[in-house]
């Protein structure tokens, strides 16, 4: 594993700590460093080590909490320096030294905050479809793989719903690609509006969307997808009502047996969707996953 991924993983672990606890740990670390600094005497400088809890708090709790920790660290360092016997021609020298170190701390935490913001943005872009704001294929595979592992371990079913817009090409031909893109955005918003917080929506390409629905069996999937189909058709009517034949076909595969892989799971749901297309489009079709059926269909 590369050092970059190790760093990001460590950063995620820090960010998972509650902000109040993160700040408390940072201040506690400053106190421990102060004791060590005082015990070592004036010959050894500890000032750079105060930077560690400041950056820890900045990454995990936030920019302003980092500033608060920096202020505490600068004050503590100055107090320890005086208590350890620091002699200066004027008291202003001690104030100056503490201020300079505070400036150093603030510059470092500002740079770290900018790096964290850039990292968060890159992570968002890497896992989000830029047109609709839904997840992309990469993020869907990530969530689906985790759900397959959960089913394998805890035997809790999940459902993949594969939605494809009917006659979407007609929208682009009649109204233009801008109108087509706007329709895709509206559909994504409509789907998100009826999904549970635990569900995950992704655009897998073109006019195809997938919804991962944890702990969902055939009955609960049917109820949820009826509502999803309703709101999508309403969105289509509002956005592209002048184009005939436009609708949505949803194929859902319920998994109570783990598929061999995420690819197999998606292909199985895609197959159900195409069965709905062949049956007349603009409808919902739900099937229960069978490993033997998948092997027969996909080899």
- pLDDT tens-digit profile of 202-230? 999 899 999 999 999 999 999 999 999 99
Tokens of 70: 């920096």
DSSP state of 258: -
Domain boundary among the residues 100, 127, 154 is at 127
- The answer to the question of residue 223 being in a domain is yes
Longest dimension (CA), the chain: 91
Provide the domain limits for residue 49: 3-127
Placement of tokens 């809790």 in the chain: 156
Residues 44, 8 within the same domain: yes
Residues 21, 86 within the same domain: yes
Nearest one of 161, 126, 151, 158 to 269, comparing CA atoms: 161
Query: What CATH number is associated with residue 273?
Result: 3.30.70.270
CA–CA separation, 104 vs 98, rounded Å? Answer: 10
Q: Which three-class secondary structure state does DSSP give residue 253?
A: strand
- The answer to the question of residue 132 being in a domain is no
CA–CA separation, 120 vs 27, rounded Å? Answer: 26
Q: What is the pTM of this model?
A: 0.70
DSSP state of 212: E
Tokens of 239: 């956005």
- pLDDT tens-digit profile of 55-112? 999 988 899 999 999 999 999 988 888 787 766 667 788 788 888 989 999 999 999 9
Beta strand 284-288 with 200-205 is: unpaired
């Amino acid at each position: 594993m590369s050092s970059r991924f190790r760093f990001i993983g460590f950063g995620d672990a820090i960010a998972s700590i509650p902000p109040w606890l993160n700040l408390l740990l940072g201040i506690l670390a400053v106190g421990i460093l102060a004791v060590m600094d005082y015990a070592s005497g004036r010959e050894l400088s500890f000032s750079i080590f105060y930077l560690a809890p400041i950056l820890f708090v900045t990454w995990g709790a936030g920019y302003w909490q980092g500033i608060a920790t920096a202020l505490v660290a600068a004050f503590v360092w100055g107090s320890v320096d005086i208590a350890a016997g620091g002699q200066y021609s004027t008291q202003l020298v001690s104030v100056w030294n503490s201020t300079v170190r505070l400036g150093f701390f603030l510059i470092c935490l500002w740079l770290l905050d900018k790096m964290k913001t850039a990292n968060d943005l890159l992570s968002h872009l890497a896992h989000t479809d830029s047109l609709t704001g839904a997840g992309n294929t990469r993020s869907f595979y990530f969530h689906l793989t985790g759900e397959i592992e959960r089913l394998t371990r805890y035997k809790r079913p999940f459902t993949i719903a594969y939605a494809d817009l009917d006659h979407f090409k007609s929208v682009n031909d009649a109204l233009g690609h801008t109108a087509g893109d706007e329709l895709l955005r509206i559909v994504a918003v409509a789907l998100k509006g009826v999904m549970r917080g635990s569900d995950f929506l992704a655009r897998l390409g073109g006019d195809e969307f997938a919804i991962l629905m944890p702990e969902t069996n055939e009955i609960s999937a049917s109820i949820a997808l009826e509502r999803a189909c309703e709101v999508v058709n309403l969105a289509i009517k509002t956005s592209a009502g002048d184009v005939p034949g436009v609708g949505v076909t949803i194929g859902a595969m319920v998994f109570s047996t783990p598929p061999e892989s995420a690819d197999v799971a998606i292909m199985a749901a895609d197959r159900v969707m195409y069965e709905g297309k062949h049956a007349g489009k603009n409808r919902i079709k739900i099937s229960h996953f069978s490993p033997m059926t998948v092997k027969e269909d996909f080899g």
